[in-house]
Structure 1
Amino acid sequence: MQSSTRLKSSTLDRSLQKTKGDANFSTFALLFSEMVQYSQNRVDNIHDLQNRLADFGKHVGIRVLDLFFLRVGKDKREVRLTPMLVFIQKVFWKFLFNREADNLEQHAQEANVYYLIERECLVNKFISVPNDKGNLNCASFVAGIIEGVLCTSSFTCKVLAHQGPRGTTYVINFDKSVIERESRLDSK
């Protein structure tokens, strides 16, 4: 009798501040695969599919950033460009993928373009691309996460994912207003 009155604990009853750690990769792979298939059935070409994945990623990035700050109990967020990018490369990437991104670089001639590089992209690891969709890059989802995090933090930008010999490169192209704001902060 006593066991029937005891309420079962569910995932929804758990605190957002406590975490067990890693997500199950097979569960993630299944969910992500379903998301790609869902998106694929609603678009006409690969460019639109990658844009849809990026849009999903933006929504995830906004929510995961809030969850990150809730879990670490930190109220202060970065307001400068370089510390924000280093935060994404080291701290936020580790929160998402349990490791840091491999490299962060600035474009040699363009002050508003940065590259975040990872050798092995988790979302591309579980996807086999059919021959008719040869240039599909599912890392657009992660590019959307990065864009969501940066735009929510007042660093307006556009992020694209490119697959190359070094792995996946996320090209972060900041709005001119972000660079101007950074210049004003440097002059103070």
Structure 2
Amino acid sequence: MSSSHVQNLLKLDTKASKRATALLEHNVSRPRRDKVSLSAFAFVFGEIIRYSQNRVLGIQDLEAKLNEIGKRVGVRVFELTMWREKMVHRENRVLQTLVFINTVVWRALFDKQADSLERSTENDDEYMITDNEPSILKYVSVPREMSSFSPGAFISGIVEAIAECCQCPARVTSHVVPAEGMPLRTVILLKFDKDVMERERRLESGK
């Protein structure tokens, strides 16, 4: 190996070391201004779906896999958001937790608030968070033979992890519910555990 080649390798190594040092020195309490582009994230997300698809047998398993990956992300999002928002205590009531997810978490993830937060008219333990145009799904193309597949399972995993971190465990699922002019409209359905709802009733009654 020539001396010039060795010098070039050393230069590359020095540059990489400087980049790594700069990353480690970044103040995590403040959000970065140089955000990851949507196209770059869409590429990574597409690869996550492809990777997961090669390791499962069907659509249900694929959604479960994406949900599990989302949960890992959700725990980290919760910790970072709590730190940046300087929140001294975590929410542990259902409504406050939902508002926290609908506003603070959604802005941290998608640079906007979710479009709506509703309670089911049929079941008092079910709530719905709606995003009319989820940015991470913008470049996801679902084949016709997989029309029932909801890539939003990744988002539902994030939400499920955060709800659990707030001591409000729930079963969270994602559903694509297209509307006029909004083909990607996604509804995140949360069904809270029985223990959570019983705790809510006790707190509301003051017992």
Does the TM-score normalized on the shorter chain lie above 0.5? yes
State the Cα distance separating 1:84 from its structure 2 match: 1.1
Partner secondary structure for residue 197 of structure 2: helix
The answer to whether the 8 A contact 1:54-1:141 is kept is: yes
Instruction: Give me the CA root mean square deviation.
Output: 1.7
TM-score using structure 1 length: 0.92
TM-score using structure 2 length: 0.84
**Alignment match, 2:53:** 40
Partner secondary structure for residue 97 of structure 2: helix
State the Cα distance separating 1:23 from its structure 2 match: 2.4
**Alignment match, 1:68:** 81
Q: Does 1:12 align with 2:24?
A: yes
State the Cα distance separating 1:69 from its structure 2 match: 1.1
Q: Does 1:179 align with 2:189?
A: no
**Range 9-18 or range 40-49, more displaced:** 9-18
User: Aligned equivalents of 1:90 and 1:55: distance in 2?
Assistant: 23
1:128 pairs with one of 141, 161, 165: 141
Deviation digits for residues 21-64 of structure 1, max 9, x if unmatched? 33221221111111101000001101100110000001100111
User: Aligned equivalents of 2:31 and 2:136: distance in 1?
Assistant: 22
State the Cα distance separating 1:18 from its structure 2 match: 2.8
Q: Unaligned stretches of 5+ in structure 1?
A: none
**Alignment match, 1:164:** 177
Q: Which amino acid aligns with 1:16?
A: V
Partner secondary structure for residue 141 of structure 2: coil
**Alignment match, 1:100:** 113
Deviation digits for residues 58-82 of structure 1, max 9, x if unmatched? 1100111001111222222112111
User: Aligned equivalents of 1:179 and 1:170: distance in 2?
Assistant: 19
Identical positions, percent: 35
The answer to whether the 8 A contact 1:123-1:138 is kept is: no
User: Aligned equivalents of 1:107 and 1:18: distance in 2?
Assistant: 36
Alignment of 1:107-146 (within 5 A): 107-146=120-159
The answer to whether the 8 A contact 1:124-1:137 is kept is: no
Q: Which amino acid aligns with 1:66?
A: E
Moved over 4 A (4+): 4-7
User: Aligned equivalents of 1:79 and 1:73: distance in 2?
Assistant: 17
Which protein has the larger Cα radius of gyration, Structure 1 or Structure 2? 2
State the Cα distance separating 1:14 from its structure 2 match: 1.9
**Alignment match, 1:77:** 90
Partner secondary structure for residue 18 of structure 2: coil
The answer to whether the 8 A contact 1:60-1:145 is kept is: yes
User: Aligned equivalents of 1:171 and 1:180: distance in 2?
Assistant: 19
